[in-house]
Amino acid sequence: MSQNDDQRYIDKTINGDTRAFGVLVDRYKHMVFTLAMKIVRNKEEAEEVSQDVFIKVYQVLNTFKGGSKFSTWVYRITYNKSLDYLKKRGRSLQTSSLDDSVEYLLKVTESVLDDLEADERKNTIKEAMKELASDDSVVLTLYYFEELSLKEISKVMDLAIDTVKVRLFRSRKRLAKILERRLKTEICKNHERR
């Protein structure tokens, strides 16, 4: 759906058409829930955050000026609401440190992934991402699954573009290490069958 379609439903909502807001909710509910889940890491809490996000979006919809894509604006609200939720419960966004001394065998991982079917590959990556810290999982989800640009991610996460690039690079390396570990088992199984 295009930005013009979003703007049409935004305008209708501002003018009192609650069904138009329902269309926006339907369009973005999966995206909002997925991002909230990556941050709070609990299904029920992610559902609660998602509800809070759409309440906030509805309350401040008239402040959306179109300076960025509507999805980016909603992502930003989701990101902030998720962090607020953690803060209110005395928790913080999980972060991880990079072990620079570890070398990652990306070619091995990629060759094994190439042998997997597309859906299986996506599921394998999503399962591996559950082992990442929230900040790593969020940046990878926004970039690869939601296909946001670096500029859009920088707006959502309120970070400089260079910082987003570094996080994306480090997150990829961490994910590669997890995939390598998980896929070694797959390699062994395939080798034993031959």
> Counting beta carbons within 10 angstroms of the beta carbon of residue 194, is it exposed (0 to 12), middle (13 to 18) or buried (19 or more)?
exposed
Average pLDDT value for residue range 147-160:
92
Average pLDDT value for residue range 120-138:
83
pLDDT at 101 over 70: no
Predicted TM-score (pTM) above 0.75: no
Q: Using 50, 70 and 90 to split pLDDT, how confident is the model at 182? A: confident
Whether 168 and 114 have beta carbons less than 8 Å apart is answered as no
Average pLDDT value for residue range 33-46:
91
Q: Which pLDDT score, from 0 to 100, does residue 38 have?
A: 86
Residue 12 CA from chain centroid, whole number: 28
CA distance 11 to 17: 9
Q: Which fold has domain 106-193?
A: Arc Repressor Mutant, subunit A (1.10.10)
Average pLDDT value for residue range 93-106:
41
pLDDT, the chain, mean:
81
* Three-class SS of the chain: CCHHHHHHHHHHHHCCCHHHHHHHHHHHHHHHHHHHHHHHCCHHHHHHHHHHHHHHHHHHHHHCCCCCCHHHHHHHHHHHHHHHHHHHCCCCCCCCCCCCCCCCCHHHHHHHHHHCCHHHHHHHHHHHHCCCCHHHHHHHHHHHHCCCCHHHHHHHHCCCHHHHHHHHHHHHHHHHHHHHHHHHHHHHHHHHHC
> Counting beta carbons within 10 angstroms of the beta carbon of residue 39, is it exposed (0 to 12), middle (13 to 18) or buried (19 or more)?
buried
Q: Which pLDDT score, from 0 to 100, does residue 99 have?
A: 35
Same topology between domain 3-88 and domain 106-193? no
- Per domain, the residue ranges of the chain are 3-88, 106-193
pLDDT > 90: what percent of the chain?
45
For the four alpha carbons of 21, 25, 27 and 28, in that order, the dihedral sign comes to: positive
Average pLDDT value for residue range 115-138:
76
Class in CATH terms, 3-88 = mainly alpha
Whether 178 and 132 have beta carbons less than 8 Å apart is answered as yes
Q: Using 50, 70 and 90 to split pLDDT, how confident is the model at 67? A: confident
pLDDT at 111 over 50: no
pLDDT at 88 over 70: yes
